[in-house]
Homo-oligomer: A and B are copies of this chain.
């Protein structure tokens, strides 16, 4: 069988940074070339970053993307790598409109281009808004081998380009992807890629983006699968990674062109002459996927790290209450940025327990983050006395004085503020808008409370396995949760038991189930009523909440778009 040496360049591109991303493509192509690669494959929209959202509609940006692509082709050649076929995805625009596109750069030119066919427009995706679909397929001939291309969603939908490539005849399919991480999603990828490789009758090279972008994190987890379903390589998750490997290709593909299954198939010859046989590299490594909890931790860590760094910050500040949420956020921040860059502030009020301070101090000592105390009693008393606040108004003003304190420290010292709320709180509105909700980023926004505890336990046991100190104070994990905004207050005064609450929320929010389904699932009507009402009424708070990394099937934000003004109540 003919061989081909293929490089999978699992890079972390930054949205809008055409210069930086072009530099990334150039340097990784050089690395691939140094290892003798004939073909290097980058993720979807590696040149522009992904998702660019409405930047796709701006003509000046599309023009800049196209120009950057042309310049990049010349640069690769000037660097001496013109004979390495580089598969680079970018934003194109033609008379029809903007295109999610992929190009093959070869010999100093843009040798072939193709547009994405299936445009996802569900969940977090708005591609029907942004792009026009392609109906043409470019198959390039490299060393006499036929290489077809598809982009991301093109492999997630039945039928379409893969089937047409199989009918046309290809020796290899490359698939640039930008597939955001969510819990359990990597379990779907491998069988999917294997099915598509079988349909195409050729190995499939799946290269996924890595890195954080606002609410999304891309996990990498790139793959090569043979047409018989054998995993030839699997790249690690949540890190940039280059794999260079030799793949045996059939070399006997048909070379049909023209209209095939509704696609305009064009053949583009880069080089006709077959490679002479050469000693292959050892088999490429197949990295094992991470455990479910580690995977989520790394997703949150990378999402946080990239939001901070790609927005030009180096340090963060957050309130430390001694509770589990702020402890987990702090531990994530320390993992993401290093303890030196993390500033924790304990802000006790007159209602704060002793353990709120001692647990916060314990966290600081375990992790090495910067720790200060700023009591809020004086601030609170001015507002309470001058405005005559009582009850809930008095509770909220405490949270808001903490918010003003953190924002003041942020403005004074240049740290990004982290909001420490979890998904359960955000769902039921158990947070103070402009209080504990302030922040540039909310690391555990999409983590249900029960999962916050699980992650804390996982992180501590991981530390023990590594021979390190457990970062999270055991007392923060085991003590009953409290907002401490009035004497003796406990979360359980206002909320159902978290185990039960998270099960209802999972059905209502991720499952989008109605009242009847929830009753059928065995929840009592009073509980359903109470929880659903809290969720529905808190939509306005969620709209003003900072972004945070999506890790579940359905995160708050563009994944779940509900009106604020909404009289619909399930069960009525």
Most buried by B among A55, A57, A568: A568
Q: How far is A570 from B16 in the complex, measured between Cα atoms in Å?
A: 10
Known: A121-B128, A404-B434, A517-B60. A15 touches B412 (CB 8 A): no
| Contact partners of A121 in chain B: CB under 8 A | 121, 128-129
A251 within 8 A of B: no
Known: A17-B567, A310-B565. A387 touches B405 (CB 8 A): yes
Interface string of A193-226 (1 = CB under 8 A from B): 0000000000000000000111000000000000
Whether A411 pairs with B393 at a CB distance below 8 angstroms is: yes
Query: Of B396, B543, B567, which is within 8 A of A407 by CB?
Result: B396
Interface string of A542-572 (1 = CB under 8 A from B): 0111110000000000001111111111101
Q: How far is A411 from B567 in the complex, measured between Cα atoms in Å?
A: 22
Query: Of B128, B392, B404, B562, which is within 8 A of A54 by CB?
Result: B562
Query: Of B15, B540, B546, which is within 8 A of A568 by CB?
Result: B15
A10 within 8 A of B: no
| Contact partners of A560 in chain B: CB under 8 A | 54
Whether A14 pairs with B567 at a CB distance below 8 angstroms is: yes
| Contact partners of A150 in chain B: CB under 8 A | none
A61 within 8 A of B: yes
A401 within 8 A of B: yes
A512 within 8 A of B: yes
Whether B407 pairs with A434 at a CB distance below 8 angstroms is: yes
Whether A383 pairs with B396 at a CB distance below 8 angstroms is: no
**Closest Cβ of chain B: how far from A127's Cβ, in Å?**
10
Whether A407 pairs with B400 at a CB distance below 8 angstroms is: yes
A378 within 8 A of B: yes
**Closest Cβ of chain B: how far from A455's Cβ, in Å?**
24
Q: How far is A231 from B368 in the complex, measured between Cα atoms in Å?
A: 75
A20 within 8 A of B: yes
Most buried by B among A51, A434, A569, A572: A434
**Closest Cβ of chain B: how far from A483's Cβ, in Å?**
15
Whether B411 pairs with A392 at a CB distance below 8 angstroms is: yes
A230 within 8 A of B: no
Interface string of A375-417 (1 = CB under 8 A from B): 0001100110011111011001100110111011101100000
Copies of this chain held together in the complex: 2
| Contact partners of A405 in chain B: CB under 8 A | 383, 387
| Contact partners of A64 in chain B: CB under 8 A | 568
Whether A14 pairs with B404 at a CB distance below 8 angstroms is: no
**Which residues of A in the span 11-70 have a Cβ within 8 Å of any Cβ on B?**
14-20, 49, 51-55, 57-61, 63-64
Known: A16-B563, A567-B17. A396 touches B379 (CB 8 A): no
Known: A392-B411, A411-B393. A561 touches B404 (CB 8 A): no
**Closest Cβ of chain B: how far from A43's Cβ, in Å?**
17
Whether B544 pairs with A546 at a CB distance below 8 angstroms is: yes
Q: Which residue of B lies closest to A390 (CB)?
A: B412
Q: How far is A49 from B566 in the complex, measured between Cα atoms in Å?
A: 9
Q: How far is A404 from B434 in the complex, measured between Cα atoms in Å?
A: 8
**Which residues of A in the span 66-80 have a Cβ within 8 Å of any Cβ on B?**
none
Known: A404-B401, A411-B392. A16 touches B61 (CB 8 A): no
Interface string of A411-442 (1 = CB under 8 A from B): 11000000000000000000001100010100
A533 within 8 A of B: no
Whether B383 pairs with A408 at a CB distance below 8 angstroms is: yes
Q: How far is A24 from B396 in the complex, measured between Cα atoms in Å?
A: 39
A311 within 8 A of B: yes
A515 within 8 A of B: yes
Known: A121-B121, A126-B126. 17 other contacts (CB 8 A): A16-B563, A18-B568, A54-B562, A60-B517, A61-B514, A121-B128, A122-B129, A126-B129, A213-B565, A383-B404, A387-B408, A388-B412, A393-B411, A393-B412, A400-B403, A401-B404, A434-B438
Sampled A-B contacts (15; CB under 8 Å): A19-B572, A51-B563, A53-B562, A54-B562, A57-B512, A58-B514, A60-B513, A63-B514, A121-B128, A310-B565, A374-B386, A383-B408, A396-B411, A400-B404, A434-B434
Which A positions have Cβ atoms within 8 angstroms of B?
A: 14-20, 49, 51-55, 57-61, 63-64, 121-122, 126, 128-129, 212-214, 306-307, 310-311, 374, 378-379, 382-383, 386-390, 392-393, 396-397, 400-401, 403-405, 407-409, 411-412, 433-434, 438, 440, 512-517, 540, 543-547, 560-570, 572
Q: Sort A-B residue pairs by CB-CB distance and give the 10 closest, nearest first.
A: A60-B514, A16-B568, A393-B411, A17-B567, A16-B567, A393-B412, A128-B128, A16-B566, A400-B404, A54-B561
